Amino acid sequence: MKQFFVFIKKEFRHIFRDTWTVIILLVLPILMLVLFGYALSTDVKNTEIAVIDPSRDAATEKIISLLDLSDYFNVSLTVESPDQIEDVFRGDNPGLILVFSENFYEEIMHTGEASIQLIADGTDPNTAVTIYNYATAIIMSYQQELLRVQSFPYEINITPRYLYNPEMKSSYNFVPGVMGMIIMLVCAMMTSISIAREKETGTMEIILVSPMKPIVIILSKVVPYFFLSCVNLATILLLAVFLLDVPIAGSLFTLVILSFIYIFVSLAIGLLISSIANSQIVALLISGMALMMPVMYLSGMMFPVENMPLPLQFASHILPAKWYIAAAKKVMIKGLGFSSIVKEMLVLSIMAVVLISVSLKKFKTRLE
């Protein structure tokens, strides 16, 4: 038992004496969350709007004021003629130009149809789409208002619905994704690198030629990173709730249990990598290329799994992160209970059992 504690103490010394390890373990998660939450977020705030309004009637004024009142837009410019559109984009560079048709209110009243053209800067398609969606949502809300007041029917073509994220905050989606990624990073990458380092420096040879049991060696390599993952999990959740205003809608307990299972899976993957990799650089490459990239692109963190081509959808099913992120979204954002994530829990548990037993079996008591 004493061996075990001394080993863990040693492991923490390695971690805290290397500035870069500390940064990766403790600063990077925070940085990633803040980055995804703010900088990379596709949320749009205070976008400048230019307006071309030839009809200048009650309806157009109402729409303009609705837009202006929202957090997302500032109506800052009135343009006289459509010929000036390009000049306006070059000069004042608004996020969106709103072009009302002539006699807007009249047309709605009489034909039940009027048109608004939304012109956005397409150089950044993601932002353009978001801006377009927000503006459409606001205009629709006016339409609905009209519908209530007036007695004759309107045909409403598009209704954007944002059921679980009414404010359409993109950080809602990123938080579970970042959790999935950080835990994989800390557990799999750091564990495999720390074992590979001992092989590289030759200390693993001495440890192996000692009475220490292999299971104790493994446990003492794994426990520090388990602990650090828990710290990271707590940090991310606290930041999410208090800094990004992402609430934990479901049960915290369920979320923690789910995360623990995922941590075990990640640790087992780290051990597996270390049984293949004999140098730190190989461990880094394997965990970087084989884990981080797929987690980023296939787990549904950045792109929805449903929109992927079928082979990629299939590939995403073997990623533990995909199941974890899906379940975490259900619990955290939709506030669903344990019964709704039984499938994910089961998949992750099976993965954990299989991976842990394989990696224990694979851990070499000799050099080859």
Partner 1 sequence: MSNTVIHAENISRKYGAVQALSEVSFDVTKGEVFGLIGPDGAGKTTLFRILTTLLLADSGSASVEGFDVRNQYKEIRRRVGYMPGRFSLYQDLSVEENLDFFATVFNTTIKENYHLVKDIYVQLEPFKKRKAGALSGGMKQKLALCCALIHKPGVLFLDEPTTGVDPVSRKEFWEMLGNLKRGGISILVSTPYMDEAEKCDTIALIQKGSFLKIDSPENIVNDFGHSLWEVSGKNMFALLKDLRSFPGIRSCFPFGDTHHVTFSDESISSDKLKKFLELKGHEDTFLRRGKAGIEDCFMNLSHEDDIL
Q: Which residues bind partner 1 (CB under 8 A)?
A: 2-3, 6-7, 10, 13-14, 17-18, 201-203, 205-212, 365-368
Residue 191 or 316: the one with the smaller Cβ distance to partner 1 is: 191
Residue 14 or 110: the one with the smaller Cβ distance to partner 1 is: 14
Q: How far apart are CA 321 and CA 185, in angstroms?
A: 11
| Short-list 100, 92, 138, 98, CA closest to 118 | 98
Residue 206 or 350: the one with the smaller Cβ distance to partner 1 is: 206
- Half-sphere exposure for 338 (CA within 13 Å, toward CB): 7
How far apart are CB 18 and partner 1 at their closest, in Å? 7
Q: What's the sign of the alpha-carbon dihedral 70, 71, 77, 82?
A: negative
Q: How far apart are CA 114 and CA 333, in angstroms?
A: 38
Q: What's the sign of the alpha-carbon dihedral 276, 259, 38, 173?
A: positive
How far apart are CB 223 and partner 1 at their closest, in Å? 16
Residue 39 or 367: the one with the smaller Cβ distance to partner 1 is: 367
Residue 62 or 197: the one with the smaller Cβ distance to partner 1 is: 197
Residue 6 or 290: the one with the smaller Cβ distance to partner 1 is: 6
How far apart are CB 189 and partner 1 at their closest, in Å? 19
Residue 211 or 309: the one with the smaller Cβ distance to partner 1 is: 211
Residue 3 or 133: the one with the smaller Cβ distance to partner 1 is: 3
Residue 17 or 90: the one with the smaller Cβ distance to partner 1 is: 17
Single-letter amino acid, residue 284: L
Length of the chain measured in residues = 368
How far apart are CB 4 and partner 1 at their closest, in Å? 10
How far apart are CB 272 and partner 1 at their closest, in Å? 21
How far apart are CB 68 and partner 1 at their closest, in Å? 59
| Short-list 253, 265, 228, 219, CA closest to 358 | 265
How far apart are CB 202 and partner 1 at their closest, in Å? 3
Q: Is 135 exposed, middle or buried (0-12, 13-18, 19+ CB in 10 A)?
A: buried
Q: How far apart are CA 135 and CA 303, in angstroms?
A: 23
Q: How far is CA 288 from the centre of its chain?
A: 18
How far apart are CB 20 and partner 1 at their closest, in Å? 12
How far apart are CB 288 and partner 1 at their closest, in Å? 23
